[in-house]
Chains A and B, each alone.
Chain A
Amino acid sequence: MTGKRTDLPGPAQTISLPVDTRGLVRVGARPPLLEYLVKIWDHRAFVFYDAKARVQTGNRKDRLGSAWMILNPIFNGLTFYLIFGLLLQTGRGIENFLGYLIVGVFLFQFSSRSIMGGSKSIRSNLALIQAFEFPRAALLLSVNIREMIAIVPVLLTMLVLVLALPPEETVSWLWFFLIPVVALQAVFNLGVGLLLARLVSQIADVANLLSFAMRLWMYGSAVFFSYERFIGNEVLLSIVQWNPMFQVLDIARDCILYETVPDLRSWLILSIWALGALVIGLIYFWRGEETYGKD
Chain B
Amino acid sequence: MGRTNHPATGEMANVTVVIDRVSMSYKVRSNKSDRSKSTVLKRVLRRTDNRVAINALNELSLIVTHGESVGVIGRNGSGKSTLVRLISGQTQPTKGAVYASNTPIMLGVNAALIPELAGEQNIVLGCLAMGMPRSEIDRKMNSIVELSGLDSAIYLPMKSYSSGMSSRLRFAIAASIDPEILLIDEALNTGDAQFRDRSKERMDELREKAGTVFLVSHSLGTIREMCSRVVWLDKGDLLMDGDPEEVCSAYKAFTWHLTKGHHPYAERLRSEARAKLVATEVWDRLPGRRSA
B10 lies within 8 A of A5 (CB)? no
With A8-B237, A18-B12, A26-B292 known to touch, is A133 a contact of B89 (CB < 8 Å)? yes
B281 lies within 8 A of A9 (CB)? no
> In the assembled complex, which residues on chain A have CB atoms less than 8 Å from the CB atom of B112?
127
Which residue of B6, B18, B97, B126 has the most chain A CB atoms within 10 A of its CB atom? B18
- A264-295 interface code vs B (CB 8 A; 1 in, 0 out): 00000000000000000000000000100111
Residue A50 interfacial (CB < 8 Å): yes
- A290 to B89: give the CA distance in the assembly, Å: 9
> In the assembled complex, which residues on chain B have CB atoms less than 8 Å from the CB atom of A293?
90
> In the assembled complex, which residues on chain A have CB atoms less than 8 Å from the CB atom of B87?
27
- A23 to B66: give the CA distance in the assembly, Å: 13
- A57 to B117: give the CA distance in the assembly, Å: 7
- A235 to B6: give the CA distance in the assembly, Å: 74
Residue B41 interfacial (CB < 8 Å): no
A17 lies within 8 A of B282 (CB)? yes
Residue A11 interfacial (CB < 8 Å): yes
A131 lies within 8 A of B126 (CB)? yes
Residue B187 interfacial (CB < 8 Å): no
Residue A88 interfacial (CB < 8 Å): no
- A5 to B98: give the CA distance in the assembly, Å: 24
- A10 to B276: give the CA distance in the assembly, Å: 9
Residue A64 interfacial (CB < 8 Å): no
B100 lies within 8 A of A25 (CB)? yes
- A1 to B278: give the CA distance in the assembly, Å: 23
B18 lies within 8 A of A21 (CB)? yes
A54 lies within 8 A of B113 (CB)? no
Residue A53 interfacial (CB < 8 Å): yes
B285 lies within 8 A of A16 (CB)? no
Q: Interface residues of B toward A: which range?
A: 35 or more
Chain B at the A interface: mostly helix, strand, loop or mixed?
mixed
B120-168, CB < 8 A from A: 121, 124-126, 128-131, 133-134, 157
- A295 to B81: give the CA distance in the assembly, Å: 14
> In the assembled complex, which residues on chain B have CB atoms less than 8 Å from the CB atom of A133?
89, 103, 130
A15 lies within 8 A of B281 (CB)? yes
With A8-B271, A127-B114 known to touch, is A17 a contact of B129 (CB < 8 Å)? no
A9 lies within 8 A of B274 (CB)? yes
With A45-B134, A133-B89 known to touch, is A18 a contact of B99 (CB < 8 Å)? no
Residue B203 interfacial (CB < 8 Å): no
Partner of A14, one of B101, B104, B157, B279: B279
B15 lies within 8 A of A20 (CB)? yes
A2 lies within 8 A of B53 (CB)? yes
- A110-134 interface code vs B (CB 8 A; 1 in, 0 out): 0000000000000001011011111
> In the assembled complex, which residues on chain A have CB atoms less than 8 Å from the CB atom of B129?
43, 46, 128, 131-132, 134
Residue A172 interfacial (CB < 8 Å): no
Nearest A-chain residue to B115, judged by Cβ = A127
> In the assembled complex, which residues on chain B have CB atoms less than 8 Å from the CB atom of A238?
none
A17 lies within 8 A of B280 (CB)? yes
B278 lies within 8 A of A15 (CB)? yes
With A9-B271, A131-B170, A295-B91 known to touch, is A24 a contact of B128 (CB < 8 Å)? no
B281 lies within 8 A of A14 (CB)? yes
- A127 to B13: give the CA distance in the assembly, Å: 36
Residue A12 interfacial (CB < 8 Å): yes
> In the assembled complex, which residues on chain A have CB atoms less than 8 Å from the CB atom of B270?
8
B101 lies within 8 A of A19 (CB)? no
Nearest B-chain residue to A22, judged by Cβ = B286
> In the assembled complex, which residues on chain A have CB atoms less than 8 Å from the CB atom of B278?
11-15
Residue B45 interfacial (CB < 8 Å): no
With A130-B90, A132-B130 known to touch, is A11 a contact of B236 (CB < 8 Å)? no
With A19-B11, A19-B282 known to touch, is A27 a contact of B237 (CB < 8 Å)? no
- A20 to B18: give the CA distance in the assembly, Å: 10
- A42-53 interface code vs B (CB 8 A; 1 in, 0 out): 110110011001
Residue B33 interfacial (CB < 8 Å): no
Report B286 CB to chain A, min CB distance, Å.
Answer: 5
Task: List the interface of chain A (C-beta within 8 A of B).
Answer: 1-3, 5-6, 8-29, 42-43, 45-46, 49-50, 53-54, 57, 60, 125, 127-128, 130-134, 290, 293-295
The contact sample of 14 A-B pairs, CB cut-off 8 A, is A11-B277, A12-B2, A14-B279, A17-B283, A19-B11, A21-B285, A28-B92, A46-B128, A49-B125, A57-B116, A131-B174, A134-B130, A293-B90, A294-B91
Having A11-B274, A131-B126, one finds 7 other A-B pairs with CB under 8 Å, namely A8-B270, A12-B2, A13-B278, A18-B10, A43-B128, A294-B90, A294-B91
